């Protein structure tokens, strides 16, 4: 049978011939855009989705690796890279460091883009080059998700102006002060609005990630992954006891 070359690979071959190849995995992986309400399961033929997790000094470990552990169970369907402003080691708020795979300048677009919270967000919201680079990449990406106070950086980009979003309930006042143009939801484990997912504090990012996996690959796949991790998935985005615990709702 005659082999067919996917559109993404034809584009890659042409760019190589033209001498315009950019160091990026995205032409090889492909880019999926889900249209409309984005409720159907994405079906890929041979290509994997590419997930990029943005990290910075002072990022929160569970914000980052809770979601990545869930997506890491989809090794045949998803590739994961760590993205940063510069190459090198990036230290978490707890101490352990990660190595950057690609800088913002080395990525054209992703299928999934995530950003965690952590103490470092209080610095990065004022790092304009970082915010602008994240904004550019988010604009080119089909699904964008923030965990915890990562929503503060997402809000700074202006991309969720007029949309619903949530964030860490213990840091709610500070995070929401980064933009008064976002419709902040006080009581929510996570919020989905258009292509954007935002989640509450720390462990909520894992619940949100399973919701995104359900959206992309189906409910059975999300349950399989949660069970495999012996994780009790909170499937209800409105179940948020921490909003009341932190005095945001009566």
Across residues 204-231, what is the average pLDDT?
A: 98
Q: Residue 17 pLDDT > 70, yes or no?
A: no
Residue 35 belongs to some domain of the structure:
no
Residue 1 belongs to some domain of the structure:
no
Residue 19 belongs to some domain of the structure:
no
Domain residue limits at 199: 47-245
| Alpha helices (H) in the chain, listed in sequence order | 7-17, 26-29, 61-72, 121-124, 128-139, 150-156, 172-176, 204-217, 219-228, 241-245
pLDDT of residue 47: 84
Residue 5 belongs to some domain of the structure:
no
Indicate the pTM of the whole model.
Answer: 0.83
How many folded domains does the chain comprise?
1
- Cα gap 77→197, rounded to integer Å: 20
Q: For residue 163, give the nearest of 188, 131, 197 by alpha carbon.
A: 197
* Cα dihedral: 116, 93, 240, 238 (round 10): 10
The DSSP H or E segment spanning 133 is helix 128-139
Domain at 90, CATH number: 3.40.50.880
Residue 4 belongs to some domain of the structure:
no
* Cα dihedral: 192, 241, 148, 205 (round 10): -60
Tens-place pLDDT, residues 165-191: 999 999 999 999 999 999 999 999 999
Q: Residue 43 pLDDT > 80, yes or no?
A: no
Distance of CA 206 to the CA centre of its chain: 11
Q: Which pair of structure tokens corresponds to residue 48? A: 């994997």
Residue 32 belongs to some domain of the structure:
no
Q: For residue 58, give the nearest of 115, 102, 112 by alpha carbon.
A: 115
Q: Which pair of structure tokens corresponds to residue 246? A: 């932190």
Tens-place pLDDT, residues 103-143: 999 998 899 999 999 999 999 999 999 999 999 999 999 99
Across the chain, the runs of DSSP E, i.e. the strands, are 49-54, 78-84, 89-91, 97-99, 102-103, 112-115, 143-146, 164-165, 183-184, 190-193, 196-199
pLDDT of residue 113: 98
Residue 211 belongs to some domain of the structure:
yes
pLDDT of residue 60: 98
Residue 239 belongs to some domain of the structure:
yes
């Amino acid at each position: 049978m005659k082999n067919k070359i996917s559109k993404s690979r034809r584009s890659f071959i042409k760019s190589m011939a033209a001498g315009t190849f950019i160091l990026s995995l995205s032409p090889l992986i492909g880019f999926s855009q889900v249209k409309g309400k984005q409720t159907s399961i994405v079906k890929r033929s041979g290509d994997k989705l590419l997930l990029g997790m943005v990290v910075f000094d002072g990022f929160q470990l569970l914000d980052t690796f809770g979601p990545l552990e869930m997506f890491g169970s989809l090794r045949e369907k998803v590739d994961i890279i760590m993205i940063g402003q510069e190459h090198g080691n990036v230290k978490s708020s707890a101490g352990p460091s990660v190595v950057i795979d690609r800088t913002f300048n080395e990525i054209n677009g992703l299928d999934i883009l995530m950003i965690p919270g952590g103490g470092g967000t209080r610095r990065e919201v004022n790092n304009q080059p970082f915010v602008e680079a994240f904004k550019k990449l988010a604009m080119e990406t089909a699904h964008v998700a923030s965990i915890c106070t990562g929503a503060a950086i997402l809000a700074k980009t202006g991309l969720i102006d007029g949309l619903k979003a949530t964030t860490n309930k213990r840091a709610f006042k500070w995070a929401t002060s980064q933009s008064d143009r976002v419709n902040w939801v006080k009581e929510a484990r996570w919020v989905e609005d258009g292509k954007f997912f935002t989640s509450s504090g720390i462990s909520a990012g894992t619940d949100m990630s399973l919701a995104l996996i359900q959206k992309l690959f189906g409910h059975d796949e999300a349950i399989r992954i949660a069970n495999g991790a012996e994780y009790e998935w909170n499937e209800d985005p409105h179940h948020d006891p921490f909003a009341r615990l932190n005095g945001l709702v009566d």
